[in-house]
Structure 1
Amino acid sequence: MENLLPKDRQKMKWVTRSKAMLSRLLMLSCFLSISSFAHADTSQASSGAKDMAGAKGTFSFKPSDWQQDKKTWWKDTDGIAPGVAGCHLGTNEQGEPNGRMFGEACLENGLLVESNPGADIVHAHGNDTGHPDTFDCNAWCVAEGKQAGQCEIAPAPPCEQSAMCVCQ
């Protein structure tokens, strides 16, 4: 830039600033796209969670061993209980275990993924897709009379890993 004329230096500064601004604008639009995508598949809280503090809604969830176009059967070990780490167990229609399972989880935004419906209720997942509730653990814990709360990983045998709201 040292060998450029003053007019050319101004043009270079303008180009550099324009590129920086364009980069920031592109980054902002990417964040907004990701944010809208993350919320695009959410709907109201399940009937069992709708009156619970911290309930944010449900979303579509496919297990890691998803079976496309198959109706599958499941039961939950804890029901809708944010303060308990639960395990969602795969079964047949009669409720006999088939070895499939997944635990509850903490999302990147800190929400708890809480499987439903009630404890030990055998229920179907169309297209092997469930619709767990999400909870704001801080809101749930405050409503429980605690000062604060957060989602934390916790054991829930037979699932290798689960999660729950831990209150302070």
Structure 2
Amino acid sequence: MSHPGGIPASIDLLEPPTGDGATQFQQSAPTESAAQSGLVQNSTKLGLTMQTTREGIQETAQQLIHDLNLKRKSDAALITDFKKDLEEKVTETCKAVDLHMFQCYERNGQIMQEKLQTLFATLERIHKIEQEMEQFKQALGIFYKDIHCQSNK
């Protein structure tokens, strides 16, 4: 699995290579001279030292890879925890914003209700005044007719 950015999520542990002959020495045939025999023993010791060093380096590299993989798992867990905490904070903040909006709606609703009541009361008074004016207009019309009729007589 790869991480965004092309970084592998984990590194596969390396298997030690099988002997390819490059770092291993072979002993000479038993018919060799003593000088050659001493050279073979030194070569064998050198081969063991090189093989031990190679194995040590491989073990160290594998331990580093193992440690790196553990660190990456730890980092992934940290990010997961961070995302979870962040989601909780966002949810908490959204709830607080919702509550604040509801409170604003309640407060504004009460103000609007008072203003609407005032408006409807004013409209009702206007309607009554219009009715009174209509009655006055009719009474004035009757009065005018009466005055006009009496003056013609």
Q: Greater strand share, 1 or 2?
A: 1
Q: Which protein shows a greater Rg?
A: 2
